Chain A
Amino acid sequence: MFRFDPYSPAVDADPFPFYKTLRDEYPCFWSEEANMWVLSRYDDIVTALNDWETYSSARGNLMDEMPNRAGATLGTTDPPRHDRLRGLVQFAFTKKAVEGLNEPVRASANRALDAIQGEKTFDFVSQFSSKVTVDVLFGLFNLPRENEKMVRDKAVLMVQSDPATRQKGPEHLAAFQWMSDYAKSLVELRKVEPGDDLITALINAEVDGEKLADREVQMTITTLIMAGIESLSGFLTMFAYNLADHPDARRQLVANPALVADAMEESLRYNTSAQRFRRCLQRDVELHGQVMRQGDFVCLAYGSGNRDDRRFPNAHIYDITRKPKGHLGFGGGVHACLGTAFARLASKVAFEELLKRVPDFTRVQDQLPWMSSTTFRSPTRLELAVG
């Protein structure tokens, strides 16, 4: 009897064999462990993403939702409120707006690389991807330069779940609470000292003639920090993991850095850090012979859709010339990742600098320690040997 348990360490480590069985044999699967349906084929996921009226986000979008978060963030609100809220935040994340981050990211990457200069091995997570993302995000939001390591540690902890109890443990909830309090303190600070930044803009913003509630501002900031730090550093780590395991691809990028952007898109397809999000059905839906009921939760397995041969031929092959248009690495539809332009720019620049100074690297660990998360996937350490 096939089972799909997104809490199991086996799925954290390698979800792809499970995804293949799901796509081929159980394209509309009820997971008892997750207590929700799982959609795994590309077309089904895209259909759901384009139909927010049926597949609602208002009851939460993370596989394991955090307390009192649903309804207070962009990702957990449906149109039309979502669209108005998004319109307020979007200005800070357009392609044009993030262009100015080019040099700060480059400088930040080089600072991290200076620190590992001469080392024979280094941990890509703690010594590169985390450092760069925290540094750049603090700059982007103009955050006070304190607590940087703590913010990163809490962001990583809050997205995790306990594989034994299949829910968030006290340490994960405490991390979320810490981050909420931190966001609250930022809001208080900006109320006293307004600036030309996103937090100030959110405080002053009005939707339907009403200001956002403090909790909405706070939860939105919490989510942006979570995504900006945890998801982005997770993705950078996955990109490095791919390039460590595919030396030919890496050598091509070293020889021609203009290919970094294409390789990044392929990594977003091949193993995005955002593996699974969820929706809640607003009506009964019949799909592949199953009836999903109104009120049921549905997991959209982006990581599986991205490996669907029906959409991407030879989807299991990492091919940097693929140009995988329409991949689900950033989700899609009205809730498509807000930070795409920022993530693309930061990843591209960070890897241009990394490959200049560390052109050759191999993976040290045979088995990687994977984060225990039902939503995101990346290793907590990635030791690389230089040369």
Chain B
Amino acid sequence: MAKITFISHDGAEQVVDIPTGWTVMQGAVQNGVDGIEGECGGSCACATCHCYVDESFAGSLPAPTQTEEEMLECTSSERKPNSRLSCQIKVTPELDGMTLHLPETQS
């Protein structure tokens, strides 16, 4: 289990407990985080679960796969160096306390 904080584009904060092994997207969708859509169901095919990872956790995540890299080119809001697709982030206990900023639009 890890506590993940989602901060929406307008600054609203939502803290969600996500079980280890789940993806961040799955945890967000299950808990009604509005700024994450996850249209494709978590298979890295739609880029609608885009998020910006807080700098302090940037080093804790494995690098994006080639597929994620390609999909990150398709995000609706600007891609930044800390952009990730939350369906590709597997929750581990080490991610407890991570903050994710959500983009203005997902699609």
Interface residues of A (CB under 8 A from B): 46, 50-51, 83, 86-87, 90-91, 93-96, 325-326, 330-338, 340-341, 344
With a 10 A CB-CB cut-off, give which of B26, B37, B47, B74 has the most chain A CB atoms.
B26
Whether a CB of chain A sits under 8 angstroms from the CB of B97 is no
With a 10 A CB-CB cut-off, give which of B32, B45, B107 has the most chain A CB atoms.
B45
Top 8 closest pairs, chain A to chain B, by CB: A336-B41, A336-B43, A87-B67, A326-B29, A332-B41, A340-B40, A330-B41, A96-B74
Partner of B21, one of A51, A95, A336, A341: A51
The interface on chain B, measured as residues whose beta carbon lies within 8 A of the other chain's beta carbons, has a size of: 25
A333 to B32, CA, bound (A): 18
A326 to B22, CA, bound (A): 14
A95 to B71, CA, bound (A): 10
A94-B71 in contact (CB<8A):
yes
Taking CB atoms, residues of chain B closer than 8 Å to A51 are: 21
Whether a CB of chain A sits under 8 angstroms from the CB of B70 is yes
A87 to B44, CA, bound (A): 9
Partner of A326, one of B30, B47, B66, B107: B30
A330 to B41, CA, bound (A): 7
A91 to B67, CA, bound (A): 9
A341-B46 in contact (CB<8A):
yes
A96 to B74, CA, bound (A): 7
B45-A93 in contact (CB<8A):
yes
Partner of B46, one of A46, A331, A340: A340
In the complex, residue of chain A having the shortest beta-carbon distance to the beta carbon of B30: A326
Taking CB atoms, residues of chain A closer than 8 Å to B44 are: 90
A86-B43 in contact (CB<8A):
yes
A378 to B65, CA, bound (A): 37
- Produce 1/0 per residue, B53-79, CB < 8 A to A: 000000000000111001100100000
Known: A50-B21, A93-B45, A333-B41. 11 other contacts (CB 8 A): A50-B23, A86-B43, A95-B45, A95-B46, A96-B74, A325-B32, A326-B30, A330-B41, A334-B43, A336-B41, A340-B39
A50 to B30, CA, bound (A): 13
B21-A90 in contact (CB<8A):
no
Taking CB atoms, residues of chain B closer than 8 Å to A338 are: 43, 45
Taking CB atoms, residues of chain B closer than 8 Å to A90 are: 43-45, 67, 70
